[in-house]
Amino acid sequence: MSILVLGASGQLASHLRELLPSAAFWGRERLDLRDASAVEPAIESLSPSCIVNAAAYTAVDRAESERDAAFAVNAEAPAAMARAAAVLGIPLVHISTDYVFDGTKPGEYVVEDWCNPVSVYGESKLAGERAVRRLAPRSWVLRTSWVFSEHGANFVKTILRLAREREELRIVADQFGRPTYAGDLARLVAAMAQDVGAGARLPYGIYHAVGGPAVSWHEFARAIVDSAARQGRLSRIPRVTAIPTSAYPTPAKRPANSVLTPSAELRASFDVVFDWAVGLDRTIERLAPTS
């Protein structure tokens, strides 16, 4: 079994390296996803048993002015991966996002809800997941949200840095979602990628790979500060003040509600538990004291 992971240094890929040590990890130096024409022949030449797309253009605000780049990596490259998967007759695991929704629903989003992204990033990710499902019959799309870990750049690391620098943190309190520890997501993806040899237990389709309580960014920031304080990582505790989105304007619009309902089929098939609170404690524990 030869698993190919597209994306070599991101949060998910970093955890997958620990779980899939024999997999091939291709970063930009090996395959530049901005050139979609190179993707399909490169994958077909390797002829892997499964493709995992852990790569993405994730600069949400910059995507507003770099639409072509966002669509190249998030839509055109996944389409090429899907065509290769179809030619080879192998499964494709593709990671998508909560930003495919517009955030206007009063309750949690289920898989079947209408997608209506409000940003270029969300549009590009929706185009990618639709291409994957259309072109690769043996494909899983995993929507996740607010990913963090001890690897890479993320909200947890930013809050820890600011907590050491400032007496007050002003954090948006009217945007809601489910944080996701990349280690939990990696365990699920690794199990799916390794399961294909014996016949997939999980029907192909779209799933929401999240878990734990829904929170606002403000509540998540408070949880980060509390966890760091418990572990003795902060010399003083900053105030965490709630502010509205209007007080923190950004180039890209964010959905006010991007809470995804967890897909029960994922745990039933692979017994992977998503618990961001446990993942948060683990992340802070594994970070260097000054991270």
pLDDT at 59 over 90: yes
Q: Where are the domains of the chain?
A: 3-153+179-212+260-272
pLDDT of residue 198: 54
pLDDT at 199 over 70: no
Superfamily name with CATH number, domain 3-153+179-212+260-272: NAD(P)-binding Rossmann-like Domain (3.40.50.720)
User: CA 96, CA 145: separation in Å to the nearest integer?
Assistant: 9
Q: Which of 36-40, 144-148, 246-250, 270-274 has the lowest mean pLDDT?
A: 270-274
Q: What is the pTM of this model?
A: 0.96
- The mean pLDDT value for 105-121 works out to 98
pLDDT of residue 254: 97
pLDDT, tens digit, 9 for 90 and up, residues 79-105: 999 999 999 999 999 999 999 999 999
Residue with tokens 């997999």: 23
- 3-class secondary structure, 97: strand
pLDDT band per the 50, 70, 90 thresholds, residue 226: very high
pLDDT at 107 over 70: yes
Active-site residue set: 121
Helical residues (DSSP H) of the chain, grouped into ranges: 11-19, 39-46, 67-71, 77-88, 120-135, 155-165, 182-195, 217-230, 264-270, 276-286
